[in-house]
Amino acid sequence: MRIDLHAHSTASDGTDTPAELMAHAAAAGLDVVALTDHDTTAGWDEALAARPAGLTLVPGVEFSCLRVEPDGRRISLHLLAYLLDRNDTQLQAEWQRLRETRRTRGREMVERLVADGYPISWAQVSTLAGAGSVGRPHLARALVESGVVPDVDTAFRDLLSSRQRYYVRKADTDVFAALALIRAAGGLPVFAHPLAHRRGPVVSDETIAAMAAAGLVGLEVEHPDHEPDDRAHAARLARGLGLIGTGSSDYHGTNKTTPLGARQTDPDAYERLLALPSAIRPTGP
């Protein structure tokens, strides 16, 4: 069984439409793929309609969250939420708020880059984002298109990471509020790339333990942004806290370089996840 539990479509900041993502997942030899766009379930219907017969689709979402650590550090973090009730009114209201703040933030980042003479524009970034929510990958593509950087990874490293002056903070949901929202909507929350240092600062082990006590069910252990040490640490934490260790590519189409299935979830871990009660079930054979 080849299982990839984290992938993005054009409903957020991927480059495959949900239907293309389904076809690519089957072509990559996956048995199971999760569609986890940022703060939206808008891609679910198209993906479900396009799902090839042999592929199982796990509908999900990647929730943008914030943790203020006891020492005052503000840390961005992502929760994957699988198999939740997408019509939950409290979740819908929170996503609507997040989508609006993402646009405002994207505009502000573009303005800062333009002010320093980088030849991109908001119109260009909006076009790249299409109907999806605006994210840093769209800014990265605009910078590549305009010849500022050779590729999106360089754009992230040199201009768009949270350590850079062009970075604008997001108004994301407190992670404990998000855990409560996801559980109330019957979803299964898994902490995405918990130790991805190259994306910015990460939360403490104590915070991860507190999240486990607050309803977190898993930790993404295998992720392209985890170094070998991070994977070992995440696996140890998961074991110690009784959390399910998952793996995924965090595929974004051509917005990032990692192909579907580059990292995978162990079938036993997937079984443990499915054994938990959830609002909906995966669709597939």
Which stretches of the chain bind Zn ion, using CB under 5 A?
A: 62, 78, 192, 250
Residues whose CB falls within 8 Å of the CB of residue 22, separated by 6 or more in sequence, listed in order: 33, 47, 50, 51, 52, 55, 57
Minimum distance, C-beta of residue 78 to Zn ion, in the bound complex (Å) = 4
Residue nearest to Zn ion (CB): 78
Query: Can you count the helices (H) and strands (E) in the chain?
Result: 10, 8
Contact assessment for residue 76 and residue 65, using Cβ atoms and an 8 Å cutoff: yes
Minimum distance, C-beta of residue 187 to Zn ion, in the bound complex (Å) = 16
Q: Which residues share a beta bridge with 80?
A: 62, 190
What is the spatial distance between Cα 67 and Cα 70, in angstroms, rounded to a whole number? 9
- Of the two residues 57 and 148, which places its CB atom closer to Zn ion in the complex? 57
- Of the two residues 39 and 62, which places its CB atom closer to Zn ion in the complex? 62
- Of the two residues 148 and 160, which places its CB atom closer to Zn ion in the complex? 160
- Of the two residues 38 and 86, which places its CB atom closer to Zn ion in the complex? 38
- Of the two residues 21 and 120, which places its CB atom closer to Zn ion in the complex? 21
- Of the two residues 47 and 148, which places its CB atom closer to Zn ion in the complex? 47
Minimum distance, C-beta of residue 193 to Zn ion, in the bound complex (Å) = 6
What is the spatial distance between Cα 199 and Cα 234, in angstroms, rounded to a whole number? 16
Minimum distance, C-beta of residue 76 to Zn ion, in the bound complex (Å) = 9
- Of the two residues 26 and 196, which places its CB atom closer to Zn ion in the complex? 196
Count Cβ atoms within 10 A of the Cβ of residue 206 and give its class: 0-12 exposed, 13-18 middle, 19 or more buried. exposed
Residue recorded with tokens 């850079």:
164
Minimum distance, C-beta of residue 285 to Zn ion, in the bound complex (Å) = 26
Minimum distance, C-beta of residue 250 to Zn ion, in the bound complex (Å) = 4
What tokens does 60 get?
């999900």
Residue recorded with tokens 């003479």:
117
At position 57, the amino acid (one-letter code) is L
Minimum distance, C-beta of residue 147 to Zn ion, in the bound complex (Å) = 27
Burial pattern 253-264, b for ≥16 Cβ within 10 A else e, equals bebbebebbbbb
